[in-house]
Amino acid sequence: MGFSFYPLDTRPNVFDVVWSKWPRREDKLAPGPWVRPVLVLAVTAMVDERTGQKFAAVTAQYGGDFEAHHVSQNLLITAAECRDLGLHKPTVFRLDLGNRKRLPWCEEYFITQGYVRSQKLISGSLNRQQQELVLSCLKGRGLEFPLPVS
């Protein structure tokens, strides 16, 4: 599968919230059918060995609907915090390894929400308090940050 890579200078930063066609588990790594918010935890410059084209790989955590049993050791974005992050409702970013993926920064995986005409790929960035909470949650799970270079 060929990808339509975004230019490297458009890549997100760590702790940005971006919109992604997050792959469903049953579809392996194929782009998913719905656009979801994801939290960026790492960005790596890469080179496509077949074409020599430079691109970014984004390591992100899935964001989904808030459910009470998902609060422990995850980042909950409350209704009061949504607007600053470009979200329309409370969201939980699940900070476990099962909800983490490394995806190419490309049109196939990262697109804007269709229902918001002015939405950008990068919808917002975590504030310092939210960043510290992410680090605390990852540490509580025994996970490293920054992420190991692969």
CATH code assigned at 79: 2.30.30.110
Instruction: Say whether pLDDT at 102 is over 90.
Output: yes
For residue 91, the tally of other CB atoms under 10 A from its CB is 23
Q: How far is CA 16 from CA 48, 51, 126, in A?
A: 24, 29, 6
Whether the model clears a pTM of 0.75, i.e. scores above it, the answer is yes
- Domain span including residue 116: 8-140
Residue % of the chain over a pLDDT of 70: 90
Whether 1 is in a domain gets the answer: no
Instruction: Say whether pLDDT at 127 is over 90.
Output: yes
First to last CA, the chain: 22
Whether 128 is in a domain gets the answer: yes
Average pLDDT over residues 69-86: 86
Whether 43 is in a domain gets the answer: yes
Whether 145 is in a domain gets the answer: no
Domain count, the chain: 1
Whether 148 is in a domain gets the answer: no
Whether 33 is in a domain gets the answer: yes
Q: How far is CA 81 from CA 49, 67, 73, 78, 91, in A?
A: 41, 17, 18, 5, 10
Q: Tell me, what's the pLDDT at 139?
A: 92
Average pLDDT over residues 13-34: 90
Give the residue among 87, 76, 91 at the shortest CA–CA distance from 129.
76
Whether 150 is in a domain gets the answer: no
